[in-house]
Amino acid sequence: MATRQTPDACTLLDADHRNVKKMFKEFEELTNSKAKSAVQKKRELADQICRELTVHAQIEEEIFYPALRSATKAGDLLDEAEVEHSTAKDLIAQIEQGDESDPKWDAKVIVLGEYIDHHVKEERGEIFVKARAARGLDLVAMRDELQARKDALMEEMAAATA
């Protein structure tokens, strides 16, 4: 059983949450600027946010949620989380395919940030609590599995865009 001091799967996933939150904050700070460099930086940030969230959702759906589903009675929470992922993926697709000159493009990124913030609060307050309380769920070993899958997916995405 993992202790609070031992980094586990929840710690890794929450580090992703904090990282993306910083990027959303930086994006919002740039929204009032009309400078060409700010527009370019917003696009780069939005693309990075979309990549990070896509990989994060995938490792949760492939590894974390199925393990939790079989170790706990958190099915309703996990169903809700997967629906939230689906909605976020729709917004991500609109952002990736969108044009930053569209007046609603910034709003889509900001709304995605708000949506993710809501999702993160539920994961931290409910799903991670159930995961850490579950018997027979090795969250430390799962952290390593999540990290390995995350690294592989990030490499695939980098190769696809190179």
3 located within any domain: no
Looking at residue 136, what DSSP letter applies? T
CATH number at residue 13: 1.20.120.520
pLDDT at residue 55, as a whole number: 98
- Total structural domains in the chain? 1
Asked whether residue 92 is domain-assigned, the answer is yes
The answer to the question of residue 93 being in a domain is yes
End-to-end Cα distance, the chain: 41
Residue 105 lies in a domain: yes
pLDDT in tens, the chain (162 residues): 444 568 999 999 999 999 999 999 999 999 988 788 888 999 999 999 999 999 999 999 999 999 999 999 989 999 999 999 999 999 999 999 999 889 899 999 999 999 999 999 999 999 999 999 999 899 999 999 999 999 999 999 989 887
DSSP string, 65-134: HHHHHHHSS-HHHHHHHHHHHHHHHHHHHHHHHS-TTSTTHHHHHHHHHHHHHHHHHHIIIIIHHHHHH-
Domain containing residue 21: 9-155
